[in-house]
């Protein structure tokens, strides 16, 4: 089982206060669903179907190379009224990548998206301070309050669901993945998570961004 924190801790939030971890600006209980690493045929379509059942909005942090290969999936995301963000072109780990290459990869993803967005999420949540200084000039860096762990094949799906429900609260930014790796667990957890919080009168919204001009 890979090690990760289901709930982002206080220390991380303190080190990077300029990042978005939660959004506490709504008068009603709201969850901000996000999906990383797509778009992928079948997987992303399943996510869209589940979201539609609850009139839920979400933000999809797309890998540029997947957009290049599956542009029709990007169109489906946008046509359904969801938002998109930049997740680099090749899912680069910022800690292991020189700054110039990292910034170029973000720009390459942006060109492939061809959608105005000011949202960026670093793959693995790993980004150097020097990279932050450049990226934050053009993007809001969106991290998370709750990491579902749907990508961890050794984590039982029912445990993933239980932990996700346990740690999610009003204002939480929650990370799922519309990827082949996460698909077996995500397709179990997402519909049950949506049903659980919908029954408790939560709404589901996309991470807000001031710039959006369609595609």
Peptide bond into 176 cis (omega under 30): no
Report d(CA 55, CA 205) in Å as an integer. Answer: 9
Report d(CA 107, CA 175) in Å as an integer. Answer: 23
Report d(CA 61, CA 35) in Å as an integer. Answer: 6
Q: Give the tokens for residue 147.
A: 């990491």
Report d(CA 134, CA 131) in Å as an integer. Answer: 5
CB atoms within 10 A of CB 99: 14
Distances (CA, A) of 24 to 107, 108, 141, 169: 30, 32, 16, 10
What residues act catalytically?
A: 36, 177
Measured on CA atoms in the order 88, 92, 95, 97, is the torsion positive or negative?
Answer: negative
Report d(CA 212, CA 2) in Å as an integer. Answer: 36
């Amino acid at each position: 089982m890979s090690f990760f924190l289901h709930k982002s801790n206080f220390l991380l939030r303190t080190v990077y206060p300029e990042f978005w971890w939660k959004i506490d600006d709504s008068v009603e209980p709201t969850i901000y669903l996000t999906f990383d690493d797509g778009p992928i045929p079948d997987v992303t379509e399943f996510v869209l179907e589940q979201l539609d059942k609850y009139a839920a909005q979400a933000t999809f942090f797309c890998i540029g190379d997947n957009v290049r290969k599956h542009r029709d999936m990007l169109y489906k995301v946008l046509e359904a009224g969801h938002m998109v963000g930049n997740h680099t072109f090749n899912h680069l780990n910022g800690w292991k990548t020189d700054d110039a290459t990292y910034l170029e990869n973000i720009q390459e993803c942006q060109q492939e998206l061809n959608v105005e967005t000011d949202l960026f999420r670093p793959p693995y949540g790993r980004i150097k301070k020097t990279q932050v200084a450049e990226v934050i000039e053009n993007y809001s860096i969106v991290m998370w309050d709750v990491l579902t762990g749907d990508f961890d094949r050794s984590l039982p799906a029912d445990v993933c669901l239980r932990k996700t429900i346990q740690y999610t609260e009003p204002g939480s930014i929650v990370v799922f993945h519309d990827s082949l790796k996460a698909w077996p667990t995500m397709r179990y957890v997402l519909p049950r998570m949506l049903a659980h919080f919908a029954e408790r009168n939560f709404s589901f919204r996309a991470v807000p961004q001031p710039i959006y001009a369609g595609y």
